[in-house]
Amino acid sequence: MTQPSEDDFRAEVEAALTRFAPRRTERESGWGEGEDRVSVVAERSEGEAEELERLRAYRAFLAEEGLAWVDGPADHGGRGLSGRHAEVLREVEAGFQLPDDGYLRFSVSTLCPTLLAHGTEEQQRDLLPRLRTAEVLACQLYSEPGAGSDLAGLSTRAVRDGEGWRLTGQKVWSSGAHFSDIGLCIARTDPDRPKHAGLTTFLVDLRSPGVEVRPIRQLTGGASFDEVFLTDVHVPDSARVGEVDGGWSVVVTSLLNERSAIGREVGVDEALVDRLVDLARHRCADGTLDERTRDRLADVVVGTWAARLTTSRYLEGGGTPGPELALTKLLTTDLLAEISDLAADVLGAAHVADSGEWGTYAWSELTLGLPGLRVGGGTDEILKNAVGERVLHLPKDAR
């Protein structure tokens, strides 16, 4: 298939999105207009069902336009274009008023490439197009109360039952489980083997008997994470992803793609940085930034561009990302921490006491949500170990 030039593809996307949604308006000051919410996590306490319907309508529109999976294989509804073309789509999308795609992040950025690498032909044919259009929403069922960073220490069991399996256990911190249709679950199928062996992954229908989902209320007031209880849940063997007792390789693939998505798609974008600059200017009495604040803002702007370009370099050529993608997640959370700290310094007491002024107390949601981002996709401390050992080849940490 002939690859269109970036300029031609950009024009195609611009023309398509113009037919679906209005452009984001350019504002001179950017202050005091519209919703002042500052968050990088999809966690609406109200209006979630309506936002999901808008998202499904948008993804269906993209499918009709041949844009639902720009860099995906043609056999599964993709365009077969390059990763750079997919970046162009994201760049153009940023200029339009579109639904929050955070609800789709695991389905599209993590599960689709994982199924391409480990799924059966039947799973790929059935699920990949529907995941891309949001007809099917998915979540991750990995972490447990006693198995977070040490994920291989999980205790959820899967026992053979005729042509299928019976799963029993508890998962936690599962983003979006309450609105998802399926969950990619890791369970222990052979307790006598070493902990990284004897694990198998399954696609669990979250409407199955024996599945209970309980939302976890967070500091931000939202509830984007859930506990999921599995009690003798029947899963057909056709829903197994990868080989029996070979689930750890599936987990590694999915986590690498998840960290890539966090670095590429979450939070540190031009709109957030522009909001920070607007805030700093608004809070200065004479409109002039002091030298310290100006320098810190410059660090954020430069760091944001550096993180974006670093991620693009790692993803050149396609294929499964390598362990170096852990760096993109670390860059993202460090930048968000710097943004949060700078906003708090500029705001002072208005960061923790709501005076009702537009664009001030709203920053507290980013600050309160940041600890969760440092844990999601692999805790920062564990990822630093992974970078040291698997990228820099330093001596391994004592086990």
Residue-by-residue DSSP string for 171-212? E---TTGGG-SEEEEEEES-TTS-TTSSEEEEEEETTSTTEE
Identify the pLDDT of residue 29.
Answer: 46
Check residues 25 and 210 and name the one with the higher pLDDT.
210
Q: Give CATH 1.20.140.10 domain extents, the chain.
A: 266-391
Averaged pLDDT for residues 10-28: 87
- DSSP state letters, 355-389: ---TTTGGGHHHHHHHHHHHHTTS-HHHHHHHIII
Identify the pLDDT of residue 300.
Answer: 94
Cα–Cα distance list, 177 to 46, 341, 353 (Å): 17, 31, 32
Averaged pLDDT for residues 107-119: 94
Most confident of 88-97, 134-143, 268-277: 134-143
CA 140 – CA 36 distance, rounded (Å): 30
Identify the pLDDT of residue 182.
Answer: 98
Of the pLDDT bands very low, low, confident and very high (cuts 50, 70, 90), residue 348 is very high
Identify the pLDDT of residue 323.
Answer: 73
| Residue 197 reports pLDDT greater than 60 | yes
Tell me the pairing of strands 164-171 and 138-141.
unpaired
Least confident of 205-209, 223-227, 228-232, 351-355: 223-227
Look at residues 88, 51, 53, 50 and name the one whose alpha carbon lies nearest to residue 67.
88
Identify the pLDDT of residue 221.
Answer: 77
Identify the pLDDT of residue 295.
Answer: 94
Query: What percent of the chain is modeled with pLDDT above 70?
Result: 91
Q: Active-site residues: which are they? A: 258
Helices 270-283 and 326-347: angle between axes, nearest 10 degrees: 20
Identify the pLDDT of residue 308.
Answer: 81
User: Within 13 Å, how many C-alpha atoms sit on residue 192's CB side?
Assistant: 0
Identify the pLDDT of residue 1.
Answer: 60
* Angle at 21 (CA atoms; ends 16, 22), nearest 5 degrees: 115
CA 288 – CA 55 distance, rounded (Å): 41
Averaged pLDDT for residues 136-149: 91
**Residue 381 tokens, joined:** 């401390």
Averaged pLDDT for residues 371-393: 84
CA 308 – CA 328 distance, rounded (Å): 8
Averaged pLDDT for residues 216-229: 85
* Angle at 140 (CA atoms; ends 369, 256), nearest 5 degrees: 85
**Chain segment 157-188, per-residue pLDDT in tens:** 999 999 999 999 999 989 899 999 999 999 99
Identify the pLDDT of residue 334.
Answer: 92
Reading phi first (left if > 0) and then psi (alpha if -120 to 50, else beta), residue 325 is in alpha
**Chain segment 24-67, per-residue pLDDT in tens:** 876 544 678 777 888 766 555 567 889 899 999 999 999 999 99
Identify the pLDDT of residue 46.
Answer: 67
Check residues 310 and 127 and name the one with the higher pLDDT.
127
**Residue 63 tokens, joined:** 């499918």
Helices 291-315 and 270-283: angle between axes, nearest 10 degrees: 180
Look at residues 122, 377, 94, 99 and name the one whose alpha carbon lies nearest to residue 258.
377
CA 131 – CA 217 distance, rounded (Å): 27
> Is 245:198 a contact under the CB 8 Å cutoff?
yes
Of the pLDDT bands very low, low, confident and very high (cuts 50, 70, 90), residue 360 is very high
Q: Give CATH 2.40.110.10 domain extents, the chain.
A: 138-248
DSSP state letter for 88? H
User: Three-state DSSP class for 290?
Assistant: coil
Of the pLDDT bands very low, low, confident and very high (cuts 50, 70, 90), residue 316 is low
For tokens 């522009």, the residue is: 274
Tell me which architecture the domain covering 138-248 has in CATH: Beta Barrel (2.40)
Q: What CATH number is given for 266-391 in this structure? A: 1.20.140.10
* pTM of structure: 0.84
Tell me the pairing of strands 164-171 and 211-216.
unpaired
